[in-house]
Structures are given as structure tokens and as C-alpha cells.
A and B are shown apart, each in its own frame.
Chain A
Amino acid sequence: MNLWKFVWRNLIRRKGRFAFTLAGVAIGMAAFVALMSIGQGLTNEIKRQAQGLGANLVVTPNGWCAYEQISVLTGEQLPEAIPMSDLEKIRSLPGITAVPYLNEKTAFRNQPVPVVGIWPEEMRAMQKWRLAAGRYFSGQDEQGVVVGFAIAQQFKLKPGDEFTVRGHLMPVLGVLQETGTKDDIAAFIPLQVAQRIYGVDGKVSFIAVQVADLDHIEAVSLKIQEVANVAVVSDKQLLSSILSIVGTVGAAMQAVAAVGVVAAAFGIINTLLTAVYERRREIGIMQAIGCSHRALFIAFLLESSLYGLIGGLLGVVLGGFAAYLLGPHFAAQNTFTAALRQAPTLGLDGPTIGYALGLSIVLALLAGLYPAYQAAKLTPMEAIHHG
């Protein structure tokens, strides 16, 4: 016999009550963990996209909001607002490579597909693209599309097939190798062709800039804003401003889920108070054979913390699983994240699990305080003479 064995036996002796109380904790924790995990998954995805951008600075029109900034990472349609003349001024600055993006959208077989107008050679050099099938653009003005890997899969496209960009028929020239970024879910055409089709002559959506010497990023950024009437954000600023928005949304959802966990903690209090009442005589016997008030207090606290530990573990497993299955659906409902890649991902990492379990155990311990106090303050006589 030892303390843990004693506590464990007490915990499971009323199977139904144990199961229902535990279910409360597990469900509350599962909701909490699922939301945390989905948020974590989105954050990871956004970070990955930011890395896939391949640029240190992003040149945008003045006054872009966060939704437009996130579209830089997701490949969503963007207003065309930077004149080509600005692009030329920026390109003339020393020590940088700058490539324009014109983010548009087309419907292909009734499905929306992002269409991005690019400078073929410059883009390929910056993104280090490789082809999975077919060939790349042969010139700045070629009427053809190169499609991302996921798009090719989705529509079963191979080189030679036909693609339509806003009603213009074009052949599929090639398919890019999988990049794991937004490039997988877009169709690319030369910038000049895109500008003609979309009637936005002389304008682009944003400009990605690679700076040769990373120590000069600040200086380059200032220089760009001197020569053109544009805003410049670094990839890090872009990332942090997007993450702060996703984080705010995530924190609000977690706060709601936390209410469920707190409600489950009240379930623990109820169950343990009932147990203290039921076990009064036993508590008296325990005291008669030498159990101190302190030991009783600790035994009840351990019992409640086991609800937190076991319920927390179940919640982590259930919540992780739910996040895996439902995560893409949730993300699709959120304006900011809808355009991110919606594949099931496991966003649960060690710190997240630790945080969830810690929360669960601490809340359960707090829930155990009052019942444990009730048990410990019984005198042997009150306990024995009961009933």
C-alpha cells in the first residue's frame, strides 16, 4: 500500500462518476487543445509560406491592410497599384534583385484558381523552380501557362492540355515540382500577357526584393521609399503582423474553450465533495489508524490532480485528432486564413502539449483544494459518528 495506490483506488471506485467527471475534463481540454493546435498549425503554415516567399523585402502600395499583406503569402488576388515606372526605379538601385507579381484570379472548370503574372526568368532564378513535367516559358511574351504542382493534380493537367485565363485559351507548357508553398496552388503566366488579359497595363500588385547584403536591408528599404511612392515591409515584419492577427483570433477562440475547461473543473469539485461526504466514516477510520489531516488533504488533492492529468492526456489526444480532421475546415471559415493550404497537419508540438497538460493539472488541483479542505477539517469523531 502506498499513497498513489490508495488515491487511485478511491478515484475509480465509483466508475460512473469517475467516467463522467473525467469526460467533462477530457472534452473541455479537447476543445482547448484542438483550437490551440489549429492555431499552431496555421502559424506554422504561415511561417512556411513566408520562408517560401524567397524575398527579404516586399514593396507594396501605401496603406495596405493586413488582409492584403497576408495575400502576398497566400497568392490571393490583389489590387494592381504599383506602376511599372516605380519597378524600374527600384530595379536600378544597386545590390538588389526585384521581381514583380501581378496577382489575379481566373475560373477554370468553375473553380477559382489564382493566376500570377511574372517575369519568367527572374522569377525562376529567385524561386529556384524546377519542372516536374513539360517545359518552362521560352520568352517574356509566350501565350502559355506553367502550373503549380497541386493545380496540376487537382485538374489532372499535363503539358499540352488546355487552360483558360479569363476566357483566353492557352496551352499548359509545364508543371512545377512541388514547393510546399502557395506556388503549388497557382497558375503562372508572363507578366505582359497577364497585364494584357486583365487590362492593367503598366501596373503590378507588389514587388518582391532580394537584398544581396543582409546587413543593408534597412538602408535598402529607405532607399526604395526615397525613389518611389511605396511602402516597404521586411519579410519579418510581414510575418509578425500577420501572425499577430491570426494570434488575436486564436486567443479569442482559446478563451472561449477555456470556459469549458473551467466548467469541467467545477465538475471535479462536485464529484470530490460528494466523495468526501460519502467517505466520512472511512476518513474517521483513516484518522483512527494514524492518518493525519495533512495526509488526507494531500490524498484528496492527488485525486483531483489525477482528473487533471488523465483528463488532460485524453483531451490532448482527442483534441489533436479533432484538430487534424477539422483544422482545414476551421481555417477555411476564417477570412485571414482561408487561402492558406488546407491540408490536415498536426500542429501539436511538445510545448503545446506541456502547456495544455499543465493547465489541466493546475485547474484540477485548484478544484481539489476546497474538497480536500473539507475532508481534512473533519475531526475523527465527526467522521466516525456520522450516519
Chain B
Amino acid sequence: MADVVLSIENATKVYGSGPAATEALKDVTLQVERGEWIAIMGPSGHGKSTLLQLMGGLDRPTKGNIYLDKSDITRLSQGDLARLRGHKIGFVFQFFNLLPHLTALENVEMALWLGGMDKHLSRSRGLHLLDQVGLAKKAGNFPNALSGGQQQRVAIARALANDPDVLLMDEPTGNLDSAAEADLLERLSMLHEGGKTLVIVTHNPAVADRAQRRVRVRDGRIVGETNNA
């Protein structure tokens, strides 16, 4: 029996109400195994981000349940959900990941602080995390002095700060040039080999090719899955 880390069961998400209501997800069920690399693909506006946000406890489903490590996160209070995002989930968004008034290191330290790490330890741990993404030298730079790819790598370092169970990324290569994209892909592979669970929303075939499993989303439903050999 496979070790399921994240399980979405019959999740439906409706945004808004009345005539303006949008059903972004319709009765979606998906299981993510520990150490797995999943690519979520599909056209724009069809519910990929919504699915990712429900998985990470950023939003609650209108119907259905979501289990992280077999506990139902839809039942958690606001505060517990925030703590869970801090400890067990790592997020990387397409744009605007970093707080602009904090340096690269401080952005990472912020996550460590929210995860409850002591101030004195968080500095060296933060530098170590930046070193892992090849940015130790840029620790003191503010985001506007970093390239898009570098910002994305800082965001990954930050997402990994509290050693989460699952790394969730929403189109992380969406606005990178091909060199930065290749570099990022290398780092994702290393993370995967290191045993991290990765769920990545992407349009990028190169990213999708590296994933073990590709999940296709259309009109708020999962319409197909392919496994890479």
C-alpha cells in the first residue's frame, strides 16, 4: 500500500454566489504519494491554481475533504491552518513571491521565524538554504536586485525553510528565460531525488516530462493521467 501524503476527496470549489458563482473545481479526487513528482496541466482558467491552493490549505473547498498525513485539514481553525502552511507545506507562486522590503536572506528567515525557529539559528539556517539554491552570495540583495530566476530560487529556499512534507508550485517557470528554466529544473530534480514531494502546475513540457505523473485538468475536473516510465 502506497504512502499517501496528500489526498483530495470529492472536492468542489465555488467562487462567489448567486448568478455570479463560478464552479472552479467539480468533484475532484486526487491522491499524492510521498516522494512523488506530479505535474498538473491544462488550459488557463480551468482550475489548476484552485486545486493547488486547496491542497496547500490556502483556501477551503466548498464541498469535499482534504487530508494531509491522514488528518482532515478542512476541519482546522484559521490559526491551525496557518501553522500547517508554515510547517508542512511549501509554496512557490508564479509572480511576486518575495517581500520587496526584505533581503533574500530575510525573506527566508521570515519563513523560519514563522515556523518558530530561534533568531540566532535562523540566520545560519537561512544562509544554508540560500547556498543550496546557489544564492549564498546574494543573501543581502533585495528582490529588485535579483533576476526572475534568482527570485524564484529564493522563493524555493524559503518554501523549503521548515522542511515541509509537500512543495506546491504554481507555474514556477512561467516567466523565466530558458537558461534559468533549465537551472530550476535541475534543482527540482535534486529535490525530488532528495525525497521531496513535488506538485507543480505547469504549461512547460520540459517540466512535465520530468514529472512521474501528469494530471490533466479541464473545466474544473481531472480529465486524464499519464505516468512517465
Contact = CB atoms under 8 A, between A and B. Distances in A.
A292 interface: yes
B91 A289 contact: yes
Interface in B56-79: 56, 58-59, 78-79
A288 B56 contact: yes
Nearest to B113: A1
Contacts of B149: none
Given A1-B119, A381-B59, A384-B93, A290 B99 contact: no
A379 interface: yes
B110 interface: yes
Given A13-B101, A285-B96, A293 B79 contact: yes
A2 B158 contact: no
A349 interface: no
B3 to A, nearest CB: 24
A289 B86 contact: yes
A2 B99 contact: no
A287 B109 contact: no
A289 B58 contact: no
A2 B101 contact: no
A381 B79 CA distance: 16
A294 interface: yes
Given A288-B91, A289-B110, A293-B79, A381 B58 contact: yes
A1 B79 contact: no
Contacts of B79: 292-294
Interface string B81-115: 01101110001010011111110001001111111
A11 to B, nearest CB: 10
Interface string A1-30: 111011001100100000000000000000
Contacts of B109: 1
Nearest to A6: B110
B122 interface: yes
Interface residues of B, number: 34
A294 B80 CA distance: 11
Nearest to B119: A2
Given A1-B110, A287-B85, A380 B59 contact: yes
A281 interface: yes
A291 interface: yes
A13 B158 CA distance: 22
A161 B99 CA distance: 79
A380 B56 CA distance: 11
Nearest to B81: A292
A282 B109 CA distance: 15
Interface in B139-172: 158-159, 161-162
B98 to A, nearest CB: 8
Given A1-B106, A1-B113, A285-B96, A290 B83 contact: yes
B196 to A, nearest CB: 17
Contacts of A282: 99-100
B17 to A, nearest CB: 15
Contacts of A291: 82, 86, 114
A61 to B, nearest CB: 72
A10 B106 CA distance: 13
Most chain B CB atoms below 10 A, which of A285, A287, A290: A290
Contacts of B189: none
Interface in A195-247: none
A9 B102 contact: yes
A290 B85 contact: yes
A361 B106 CA distance: 28
Contacts of A290: 82-83, 85-87, 111, 114-115, 162
Interface of B: 53, 56, 58-59, 78-79, 82-83, 85-87, 91, 93, 96-102, 106, 109-115, 119, 122, 158-159, 161-162
13 contacts: A1-B102, A2-B119, A6-B102, A10-B101, A282-B100, A287-B85, A290-B82, A290-B114, A290-B115, A292-B82, A293-B79, A381-B58, A381-B59
